[in-house]
Amino acid sequence: MPTLGFRHARRVCVVRDWVGHMRSDRKTALISRDTDLSSLDEEQALALLTGALRIDPRAGILKVLDTRFALLRPIVLVNIQRQLEQTVGASTKGFMYLAGERTAETGVDVAGSLVQDFEKDPLTLDSIGWLTNALALLGYGRFEVLRFDPVEKRIAIALSNSPFAEAYGSAPKPVCHLIAGFLAGLGRRLLAQELLCEEIACKSQGKARCEFELRPMLSL
């Protein structure tokens, strides 16, 4: 039987050590609010995710705690978006945006189940920071709040390594409509007001990163 390399063996030990300190009842929160997710190294991040997963290979079911997940490549959603662009044209942006906005509602609840004392009603800026760090762990890229004005109700957010921009490839206009809608949903929970999120720069356009601006929706 081949022996494990030192690096791999060390990783296995670290993972086991971290998982051993997690709660055995996976229906309860696994992560303390004081945990800085952005500071985790590869082994620690792997251990945290392993502790949250519940897998039933026979049934073909994967859950994070009690929430059903399915591992999909970003290209799956990008192909849906491209097909919509061919059939409904410019309306695609609205469809994807609304889907992202609706996803934000359940996404916040899932995050709340992972962390102890998660503030979600209403969301706080600290809660959003924790949530975006959790999204980074799940492969959605690295979010950064560039500007937050609670008086004018405006927020600027940057996203490095957007999986959707990467999967979409080169495009003349921003393509991360799903993420824009998701951020609008988070902003509404944060400021208790309907916000419009516009992607003003996108990696697909050759920019260094994607950038989003949230502002109040104009009253008619």
Neighbours of 213 (CB within 10 A): 19
Give the pair of three-digit tokens for residue 79.
């192909």
Q: Could you give the angle at which helices 92-114 and 125-137 cross, rounded to 10 degrees? A: 100
| Same domain, yes or no: 61 and 127 | no
What pLDDT is recorded for position 29? 53
Please report where in the chains the tokens 């309860």 appear, as a residue.
28
| Same domain, yes or no: 46 and 104 | no
φ/ψ region of 56 (left if φ > 0, alpha if ψ in -120 to 50, else beta) reads beta
| Same domain, yes or no: 46 and 133 | no
Could you say which residues of the chain have pLDDT below 70? 1-30, 33, 109-122, 219-220
Closest CA to 64 of 115, 120, 98, 130: 115
Mean pLDDT of the chain: 83
Q: Is residue 31 situated within a structural domain?
A: yes
Domain boundary among 32, 53, 69: 69
What pLDDT is recorded for position 6? 44
pTM above 0.85, yes or no: no
Count how many domains the chain has: 2
| Same domain, yes or no: 111 and 153 | yes
Q: Is residue 87 situated within a structural domain?
A: yes
| Same domain, yes or no: 110 and 170 | yes
